[in-house]
Amino acid sequence: MKIESEADLRGMKRIGEICGLTLKLMLDSAEAGMSTRDLDDIGRDYMNKMGALSAPIQAYEFPGYTCISLNDEAAHGIPRKDRFIRAGDLLNVDVSAVLEGYWGDTGATIIVPPARPEWVTLCRVTRNALRLAIEMARPGQRANRIGRAVEKFAKRHGYRTLRELGGHGVGRNIHEKPSIPNFHNRRNRDVLRDGMVVTLEPFLNAGRGRIKQADDGWTLRTVDGSATAQYEHTVIINGDEPILVTEVDGGYV
């Protein structure tokens, strides 16, 4: 999507705020002993209150309002009544929603106390990788250069990026062009333009950097049981000052 009017800007800011506040509420509420379905219900109730609809349900008939992934689950974890959050778990929540034809997307990873030092470092480096991507998100920038920078940053800290998962256009639907990989994809010639709406979302992995789909048909797990962290903002390319529509006060991204 490209911002073409003040109405577009207002619409994206509104759905971005809803996504950001839903994410914050869910992560603020997460605690050991609750099920991932209980946590998803919190997101569902807030989105309903704001009049927004779950993007994964609307676009893909996903069996949950949000994606909730634990430990070796890299992404697209299904909220379940029998999947319980435990002390020390690595918890990722990905929230995407639609309101009045505008789609937003955000996500973050936290550690349910007590925190392993190695996971604290993984989360910190991944969040900094997102900040690096945001700093590079300017008109005229090639998407694959962002990917190259994120990949080099990850390797410098001893991590790999997940090549199957990355940023993308958003706004009129949940997944649009361009693709913004988290590695140097020479075949990707996409260029960022002023007004373009995209997600930036590094996935950094502490193991081999490979994933597989679980038997449920949705959840993506690492092949070696290693941990992955992800942080994501919906961003409007805006000259030298990108607009982070999913950024909220006190948020986790």
Q: How many CB atoms lie within 10 A of CB 7?
A: 11
CA distances from residue 65 to 26, 72, 212 in whole angstroms, order as listed:
12, 21, 22
Amino acid at 191: V
Going along the chain from its start, the domains and CATH numbers come out as 6-244 (3.90.230.10)
What is residue 48's predicted lDDT score, i.e. its pLDDT?
98
Using the 8-state DSSP alphabet, how is residue 34 labeled? -
User: Which strand (E) or helix (H) includes residue 25?
Assistant: helix 6-29
Per-residue pLDDT tens over the stretch 22-77: 999 999 999 999 999 999 999 999 999 999 999 999 999 999 999 999 999 999 99
The residue type of 63 is: P
What's the pLDDT tens digit per position in 12-26? 999 999 999 999 999
| pLDDT of 18 | 98
How does the average pLDDT of the chain come out, rounded?
97
pLDDT digits (tens, 9 = 90+) for 64-123: 999 999 999 999 999 999 999 999 999 999 999 999 999 999 999 999 999 999 999 999
Q: What is the pLDDT of residue 194?
A: 98
Using an 8 Å Cβ cutoff, are 229 and 203 in contact?
yes
Q: Helices then strands (H, E): number in the chain?
A: 5, 15
pLDDT category of residue 136 using cuts at 50, 70 and 90: very high
Calpha distance 222→210 (Å, rounded): 6
Backbone angles phi, psi at 244, to 5 degrees: -90, 90
In angstroms, the CA 77 to CA 168 distance is 19
What pLDDT was estimated at residue 246?
98
Q: Which of 216, 105, 89, 90 is nearest to 166 (CA)?
A: 105
CA 59 to CA 97: how far, in whole Å? 10
pLDDT given at position 16: 98
Confidence tier at 5 by pLDDT (50, 70, 90):
very high
**Helix or strand or coil: residue 197?**
strand
What is the phi-psi region of residue 85: left when phi exceeds 0, alpha when psi lies from -120 to 50, beta otherwise?
beta
Could you write out the DSSP letters of every residue in 6-22?
Answer: HHHHHHHHHHHHHHHHH
